[in-house]
Amino acid sequence: MPNRAWFHIFLVTSLTLTSAAVADHSGTHIEDLNKDDFILLEDGKEQKIAIFESIKKTTGSLPNRPAQANEFSNVRAEGASLTQLTIIVLDLINTPVQDQIHARDELLKFLGESTNVGRPISLFTISRTGVRLIHHFSDDPKTLIAALNQVNRSQPPVSEEPSWALLPDNKDKLSTILRPMGEFQIDAEQAALSLERRTVITMTLQAMQQIAAAFAGFPGRKNLVWASAGFPFSINETTMALKEGGPGLDSPANLAPLYERTWNALSQAQISVYPVDVRGTVILDGPSPVRTKKSLPDPLTHGQWLQAGAIGTFEAFARATAGRAFYNSNDLKGALQQAVDDSASYYSLGYYLNRTDKKSGWHKLGVKVKRDGAQVLTRTGFFLAESTVQPEHDANEEMQIARESPLDYTAIPITAKWDQVQAASEGKKKVVFVLTMPPNFADIDEGDRNHFLLEFWASARTSTGTSAADLEQTMEGHFKTETLDRFRHKGTDYRGALIVSPGDYSVRFVVRDRISGRIGSLTAPLRVAP
């Protein structure tokens, strides 16, 4: 398997990342590149490269942070930056049952390969109940295989069957009555299917965003293998409008902003997506012998539309995140292996983003290598928000998702400790906690008198999921010079309290920097004695 060279672009003021594979015509990694060999382009204009580093990743265990009594953290141990990390996502919400079974079997074969011993791999599923962590990073294939064997083999996806309503062309009285009824049935079915497809796409993209948030604090490049049957980029089937990759989609039926936010979140987390079509070589059925409404494609065209749409979505995700799409192949295990091998080494580059007069929205990135025959695979762009502070509605929605997510977000490192327990009214107890964040965990707007804007949420739930206590607090102000210096060098502690009855609880902590948009979260157990 030929090696690949990857590099990342760091936009220092907003940390938008991209990566590119550099290889010769034979696919062999080009190892002797330096900063002067690269040309970095933003919206077609060359940028000055400020950071350059050649990195070679190693396999091996991903070290955990040593556990301490009464302390809980989403922080990983130091030294993980050189570890090659792979995230495998088994997509059950978009994949037919028979293909789910095939994909799981191929994943089991892949994990059983001796070459994968010592490579940290994590397993996730996406289903109608959301994203689920099957197993965190492990370099022991037997452990991962045992976890994967616990996954339900037959979770129903979205139905994609076309309508078979009879639409007679005869001119007799009965036909003239039946045809409008059939057309109404088709319209209703297509409207329901479009709504269902929109819901499923939204759930899939939100799951991808949660995975990105979970690994945003892990240094270095990560590969995400998305094992799926995919979905059309456009949800509007009756117009047959396939919108492939990138912003500027003009149909309200398309979910362009959500796609852009998803790609941006993945890129900020340095995650490259490798979509793998688990259907293998797709053979489409012949045309339907049943007449259907003219504006609705027959099953052959329906299948072609779904297939082209899924491939378009795979390619769009790969291009936007500097990954690679695999489809029309029965070698699922080989595709998985190639995706894992791709991140063995890469170049890291960075430049300072000039925000002067820069419009919000999608901006193109390009990379060129001054070497004859060099082949480059690179991310297509990055997204800039409209303002330095996220709108209240969007911020609250993301905080709600973070609070309900089963994954710990790592963009802000948090360490939580239980402190004092005091008597409260009506037999309840006041439990004091301390959240510790490291230096510079949040952005400071120096142009606005050292403005900061932070949010802290804590939510206690019983074993049945019932809410027992909630705390939400926003802290906003302007640092004085001496306070800012302490923030930058020593970090910050936040003290809060929850009032609960004696019992056992699961407490979810969420911290958000509204200026940068970064979120950290973790879940800690709490036992309150009578």
Task: Give a three-class secondary structure readout of 374-418.
Answer: CEEEECCEEEECCCCCCCHHHHHHHHHHHHHCCCCCECCCCEEEE
**pLDDT at 156 > cutoff 90:** no
150 versus 336: the higher-pLDDT residue is 150
- pLDDT at 132 (0 to 100): 94
Starting at the earlier edge strand, list the strands of the sheet with 375-378.
51-56, 345-351, 5-11, 19-23, 375-378
CB 2 within 8 A of CB 28: yes
Confidence (pLDDT) at 178: 73
Q: What is the pLDDT of residue 238?
A: 44
Q: State the Cα–Cα distance between residues 317 and 361, nearest whole angstrom.
A: 18
Other CB atoms within 10 A of residue 185 CB: 16
Residue 388 has pLDDT above 70, yes or no: no
Question: Do residues 238 and 25 make contact, with C-beta atoms less than 8 angstroms apart?
Answer: no
Residue-level pLDDT at 389: 54
- Express each pLDDT in 138-148 by its tens digit: 888 899 999 99
Percent of the chain exceeding pLDDT 90 equals: 33
DSSP conformational letter for 450: S
pLDDT for 329 equals 83
Query: Measuring CA to CA, which residue among 311, 319, 304, 229 is closest to residue 267?
Result: 319
- Give the pLDDT confidence score for residue 23 in this predicted structure: 64
Q: Which of 68-77, 95-104, 301-310, 473-482 has the highest mean pLDDT?
A: 473-482
362, pLDDT greater than 60: yes
Residues facing residue 356 across a β-bridge: none
CB 527 within 8 A of CB 504: yes
- Whole-structure pTM value: 0.82
Q: Residue 160: which residues within 8 A CB-CB, separation 6 or more?
A: 193, 302, 306
- Phi, psi (rounded to 5 degrees) for 109: -65, -40
315: helix, strand or coil: helix
